């Protein structure tokens, strides 16, 4: 088994080397890398290791600058002092996320997990596996903070029938007949919503599947949608109609 350590602080590197040797003296450390430049250079010239230990903030920026080039296809155990990169980690082959200072117990637990996942009789596609991990760890927006001149209030996303946008202003229409305006790009908002519940049916509207009452054919390969407590019909764009049909049935 070979591993590579991506870490720009010598003390942290020494600690990982000690933990690795304590856990399994037969493990070979094939590389000690300190920067994105070294990461790109090493992985472009050497065989893929069995496992990578990686810090996140390096001397020349975030390690994700390198990982997003998909040059590392083996599993990665992330080691960092920051707790706000979970999503990025699991988007990039992460199987564990260890917060510094790292205890041997947490290191051992991560290695045991790696060994369970890579049992000698198993063949794992790590890109597929990372997608599964990603889905397991994704959290979606549950509420929206609405601010006005005098106060602020929270709107539960689950109660929103649909969102619309006009001139950079989003509007949420809830199941009680109320509407709320807030500033956010609709595309950014949709990326934060649960894709099993919300679907962007055109450039300006995203709909909640739980409030769809009726769907009828419309002109030019579009669909007309009646939603709960609203007289206005929502119309899909022809470009997304086919995808919308698939979404409804999955």
Q: Residues 82, 155: one domain?
A: no
- The alpha helices in the chain, defined as continuous H runs, are 10-23, 36-45, 64-67, 86-91, 104-117, 126-137, 186-192, 241-249
pLDDT tens figures, 90-127:
888 999 999 999 999 999 999 999 998 887 545 555 55
From residue 105, how far is each of 7, 19, 142, 157 by CA, in Å?
Answer: 20, 10, 34, 39
Q: Residues 133, 18: one domain?
A: yes
Please tell me the pTM assigned to this model: 0.52
Q: Could you give the number of structural domains in the chain? A: 2
pLDDT tens figures, 13-66:
999 999 999 999 999 999 999 999 999 999 999 999 999 999 999 989 999 999
Which of 122, 137, 152 is the C-terminal boundary of a domain? 137
From residue 81, how far is each of 3, 55, 78, 87 by CA, in Å?
Answer: 21, 9, 10, 15
Domain around 127? 2-137
Which of 103, 137, 171 is the C-terminal boundary of a domain? 137
CATH number of 206's domain = 2.40.50.1020
Which of 115, 137, 159 is the C-terminal boundary of a domain? 137
**Phi, psi (rounded to 5 degrees) for 128:** -65, -40
pLDDT tens figures, 164-184:
998 889 999 999 999 999 989
Q: Supply the mean pLDDT for the chain.
A: 90
d(CA 232, CA 224): 10
Q: Residues 198, 229: one domain?
A: yes
Q: Residues 117, 216: one domain?
A: no
How high is the pLDDT of residue 121?
A: 46
pLDDT tens figures, 199-214:
999 999 999 999 999 9
d(CA 101, CA 108): 14
d(CA 234, CA 215): 9
């Amino acid at each position: 088994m070979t591993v590579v350590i991506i870490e720009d602080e010598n003390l942290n590197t020494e600690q990982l080397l000690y933990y690795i040797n304590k856990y399994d003296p037969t493990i070979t450390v094939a590389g000690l890398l300190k920067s994105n430049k070294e990461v790109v250079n090493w992985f472009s010239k050497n065989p893929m290791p069995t496992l990578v230990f990686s810090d996140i903030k390096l001397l020349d920026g975030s390690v994700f600058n390198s990982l997003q080039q998909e040059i590392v296809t083996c599993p990665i155990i992330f080691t960092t002092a920051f707790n706000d990169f979970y999503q990025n980690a699991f988007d990039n082959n992460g199987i564990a996320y260890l917060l510094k200072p790292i205890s041997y117990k947490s290191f051992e637990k991560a290695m045991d997990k790696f060994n369970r996942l890579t049992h000698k009789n198993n063949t794992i596609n790590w890109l597929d596996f990372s997608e599964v991990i990603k889905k397991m760890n994704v959290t979606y927006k549950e509420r929206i903070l609405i601010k006005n001149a005098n106060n602020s209030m929270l709107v539960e996303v689950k109660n929103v029938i649909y969102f619309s946008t006009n001139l950079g202003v989003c509007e949420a229409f809830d199941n009680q007949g109320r509407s709320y305006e807030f500033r956010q790009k609709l595309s950014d908002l949709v990326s934060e919503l649960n894709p099993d519940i919300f679907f962007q049916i055109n450039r300006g509207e995203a709909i909640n599947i739980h409030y769809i009452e009726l769907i009828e054919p419309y002109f030019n390969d579009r669909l007309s949608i009646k939603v709960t407590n609203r007289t206005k019909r929502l119309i899909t764009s022809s470009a997304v109609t086919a995808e919308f049909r698939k979404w409804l049935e999955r």
